[in-house]
Structure 1
Amino acid sequence: MSAKLFIVDDHPVFRAGLKTILMSESDFEIIGEAQSGEEALQKLKEIEPDIIVMDISMPGKDGIETTKEIRKSNTKVKILLLTMFSDEAYLKEGLAAGAQGYVLKRAVDTELINAIRIVLNGEHYIYPTLIPYLYKQADEKVEASENDKPHLSQRETEVLKLIALGYTQREISEELFVSIKTVETYKTRIMEKIGATKRSALVKYAIKHNLISYD
């Protein structure tokens, strides 16, 4: 069975070249095309492609906005975005809007067919030179997560480690040379700071943040 393709691009010459490339594949069938986001949304009310190959930069409703509109009513169709630029912002916005692929126009003759097959198979495709942007984004999320981590004092950290290691409050008081009541106070503060209600949550927190090892 042939995969049904729909092309959206505002440049007639580029669109014609794209069709030539795609029609060379025996298992691809082009069932429609549009020169704007608005036209694409109208035509998609009447046809059901398997994948939409769409330019990002178009007058009026661009490819990212059109992707968002499509996703409001159709979560199944695959969307592969094309662009002239290696732009980190476009990449992030496109993926967030619901696209499964992102290809540079300069690579359509070598990468597009491969990208379409990958996306049709249920996977995401990002043009190789853009992949570092995704690693950067992931690193930023990790850094933000670390910045959001509640601040524990040195003594609170010591108490948390001992609790996670299974020490009783009496054993902790003897280890740190403080009263049991003081240990209870530290434990209460720690639980409030990290939002824990059970001892098991303290253990999980300690493991997650490498305060203790767990084999």
Structure 2
Amino acid sequence: MGEKSEQKKKLIVNRARAVFSEKGFKAVTMKDIVDACEISRGGLYLYFSNTAEIFQAVLDTEAEEELDEEDHLDEKTLKYRSASDLLALFIKEQKKQLFLHKNNLGIAEYEYFSQKVKEDETANPLKDQFDTAALVLERMVENGIRRGEFECEDPHGFSRNLMYAIEGMKIAGLTMRLSESDFDREILYALRQLMPAGE
């Protein structure tokens, strides 16, 4: 694909992202994308066959951007030495994702992946993402226990419980009003299970 074609494809993906953010996944038609991109139907079909392909391209672009952010995050984590600091950073990143309202793809993602799971029960990227986050959190907690910063009888259970709370708040944030203070209160409640050693 030539440079001009790549630029056109990026334009389609960027504009489609805004359409999916506004309408979700299920309600978006190829005509919506054509209108948003101000191109012909044939011009769109040169690059994508359907809305699912376009949405997957949007998700792929998001994943690339997140990898760039994670590289930056890895540099940041070098500055943090305590398990408490790492846990605080993890929660801060989860909160940031939750309250990023501009062009939020949350509803579209849930619609898209719920449809994909119906088509193929083995393909569940949201579950994979959840399991990965829970494992990262579990390792942080275990590290904190080894260092004497935390006390926790069940790091695995705590980590999954906290991730279920965060995932529930992500859905609540999309479907009803959830304030940052609501998020903070729920997280603090969950963190009571993770009593710092000596307190």
Do they fold alike, i.e. is TM over 0.5?
Answer: no
Between structure 1 and structure 2, the one with the greater Rg is: 1
More RCO (CA 8 Å, sep 6+): 2
More helix by percentage: 2
With normalisation by structure 1, the TM-score equals 0.24
More strand by percentage: 1
